[in-house]
Every structure is written in structure tokens, then in C-alpha cells.
Amino acid sequence: MHCANCGAELGEGAGFCAKCGARAGQASAAVTAPQASSLPSNVAGGLCYLAGFITGIFFLVAEPYKRDHSVRFHAFQAIFLSAVWIAFYFVLEIFLSILPGVLWRVSWMLNSVLGFGFFCLWLFLMFKAYNNEQFKLPVIGDLAAKQA
């Protein structure tokens, strides 16, 4: 016969486990319930930025991250940053489509530089979140801090 709590072998007629002290035949709730493994806050905060608003929303509704202030801040900032970038990109594309064909190279270079800048900002925010730093973007960061 084995202890239901720790798995140690019990002697015949033993009322308690010699190893852990649990009553024979009873399992503790800590062993029978599966343990939820979760990511550290810094990893979850960095992953909030991975796919923008998709991962931001995921970490806002997933347990236990929805109760972590740091993860909530990064999730909201990722959502707001994605929304601003999408809106900015559409406005930029409309503006660049109005330009005459001669300025096509200039518009392509402007689009490339802004895209690379956003990519660098995205990596920077992931790095800061991974290092447990709460870097606030000028307007978006304050909104995210209020929501978190």
C-alpha cells in the first residue's frame, strides 16, 4: 500500500505516512489537483507585444495574468499601440496614394523607414517588458496605466 499524498510505501495497518505525516488513504488537495504552470510576469509582459492586440487581449483574459498589474499594463499598451499603428498606416497609405507617380520612390522610402521604426519600437518594448521595466509611450502609456 502506498501513501496517496507522497507515494511512499506504507506498512501494514499504518494509520499515517512515516514520510509526510498524511493520514493513510487520504490525499491532500495539493497533490490531487493539477498544478497550473504559468509564465513569469516579465515573459508574459514581453509576449503581450508579440502579435499586438491579439496577444494583448489574450493576456487580459487568461488566468493568472489578468490579475497581474504589470502584465495588464503591457497588454493594454500593446493593444493601444496596435490600434494607433493600424490607423496611422491606413492614413499614410491614403496620403501616399494621392501623390503623383513621380514621387513613388519617396513614398516607398517613407513607408519603409516608418515600418522599420515601428519594428524597432516593437522590439524595444518587448525588451523593456522582459527586463521588468514599465516603459510608457507618450500618450498610449498613460492610457494603459489607467486601464491596468
Residue 122 confidence (pLDDT) above 50? yes
The pLDDT of residue 1 is 66
What is the value of pTM for the model shown? 0.70
The pLDDT of residue 97 is 79
Q: State the Cα–Cα distance between residues 29 and 83, nearest whole angstrom.
A: 44
The pLDDT of residue 20 is 74
Cell numbers placing 75: 497588454
Find out whether 44 and 115 touch, Cβ atoms under 8 Å. Answer: no
The rounded Cα 114 to chain-centroid distance in angstroms is: 25
Amino acid at residue number 10: L
Give the domain ranges of the chain: 1-35, 38-147
44-99, pLDDT tens digit by residue?
999 999 988 899 999 999 888 888 899 999 999 999 999 999 999 898 888 877 87
